[in-house]
Amino acid sequence: MPKTVFKRRSLGFRSLGSAFLVLLSCWPGAAAAQLLWEAEPEPTPQSLAADADAPAPSVASALVWEAEPDPPALWAEQPDAAASGDSIARGELPDTSQPLSPEDVQALLLGLPEPYSPPNLSGGLPAAYVANWGDFYITGSAGTPGKQRDSQPDGSVGAGIGFGNDQELIAVELNWGVGSINNFNANGAFNLFASRMLLNEPRLQVLVGGGVFDFYTYGNEKPQPDPTGYGVLTVALPLREPNFEFNQVLQLSAGVGGRDFAALDANFRGGSTSAFGAIGVELAPNVGLSAGISGRGTNINLSYTPFRELPISINVLAADVFDQSPFGTVGVLTVSWGDNFRRGLF
């Protein structure tokens, strides 16, 4: 965030003159002398020309003149675009011996390159960051079969849109997805997620969220999956000093979920709830690495946003890397178009 700088002026005659006046006021007869000095008219060019031997303006007159307020522009409070040092490295700063005007600051900001879309730091598990009003996305995924699906790779598609605002009241994300491309009419579901920002500071964000997977399902797959809920707390903070290039966000999540998060035995029977957690960090402005763990195993996710001008995100997920569930280790490649709001912005 831009910092504020107050332009300081040299002490000069102002402080020395003030101290000198104090000393003079303590000297006998100083009060009368001061009245005489103040009563004297200021010399004009005409009077100086008429009498070349006229005495120069008194010291008190100079002190009174110096004590007059400076022009407002010299004391104006201006944002300091160079506080982070990035613009200096770019060699784009104008002459900084004078305060930067708001127009100069705006020109500097407009001259910065388009930022990358943020990478995903959720570890393949829910985080409290959800879509707000105006956020949208479409996704396509392809996955390895693992121990299921008759050794046939499969894919899925999905889309989502946001409503509300997590800082003003609450944000709600409506998501739709088709679970299988090979059996396109077998399953489809709508999911609903919500979030509220608890703390939004320049160096820390804390959110609480929750949602329901499969709150409405359709298709000819039998049986249809039951709804599964979850709740999660997410914390995000930058690891570097504020700058325009790379804040290196660290994100932590912890929550509790229903059957979709619980461990399963070989017969696909398991508990009704499970705790889960995730940690993720940016390796570069457009690369994020995250890990998540739940009753279904451990996930590792690499997220990459290759373009500055296009909102495209590529995620490579290894689900259940230690082969702890009946589904086995599954690799999933996901490409998304649209806003990426899965981590904090600083």
Q: What CATH number does the domain containing 210 carry?
A: 2.40.160.40
What mean pLDDT is predicted for residues 211-226? 91
Structure tokens that stand for 277 in this block: 């957690």
pLDDT band at 22; cut points 50, 70, 90: very low
Q: What is the pLDDT of residue 97?
A: 59
Same domain, 79 and 172: no
Q: Based on the domain organization, do 35 and 144 belong to the same domain?
A: no
207 in any annotated domain? yes
pLDDT at 81: 40
The confidence band for 45, taking pLDDT boundaries of 50, 70 and 90, is low
Task: Please report whether residue 217 resides in a domain.
Answer: yes
Query: Is 198 in the same domain as 88?
Result: no
Per-residue confidence at 47, pLDDT binned at 50, 70, 90?
Answer: low
Q: How far is CA 9 from CA 70, 102, 114, in A?
A: 10, 21, 37
Residue 201 lies in a domain: yes
pLDDT of res. 295: 95
Would you state the pLDDT for residue 55?
Answer: 52
- Tokens 């995620």 correspond to 315
Is 176:193 a contact under the CB 8 Å cutoff?
Answer: no
- The pLDDT tens digits for 123-167 are 999 999 999 998 999 999 999 998 877 778 999 999 999 999 999
Position 297 confidence tier, pLDDT thresholds 50, 70, 90: very high
| 144 in a structural domain | yes
Residues 197 and 246 in one domain: yes
Number of domains in the chain: 2
Residue at 345 is within a domain: no
- Tell me if 29 is assigned to some domain: yes
Q: Which domain holds residue 242?
A: 136-338
Task: Please give the backbone phi and psi of residue 104, each rounded to the nearest 5 degrees, phi first.
Answer: -65, -45
Distance CA 50, CA 36 (A): 22
Average pLDDT over residues 298-303: 97
Specify whether 198 is located in the same domain as 312: yes
207 Cβ partners below 8 Å, 6+ apart?
A: 128, 129, 166, 195, 196, 197, 198, 233, 234
**Token digits for 51?**
């009498």
The reply to whether 131 falls in a domain is no
pLDDT mean across residues, the chain: 78
Helix spans in the chain (H): 12-26, 30-39, 45-50, 59-66, 86-90, 102-110
pLDDT at 27 over 70: no
> What average pLDDT does the segment 9-37 reach?
39
Asked if 229 and 322 sit in the same domain, the reply is yes
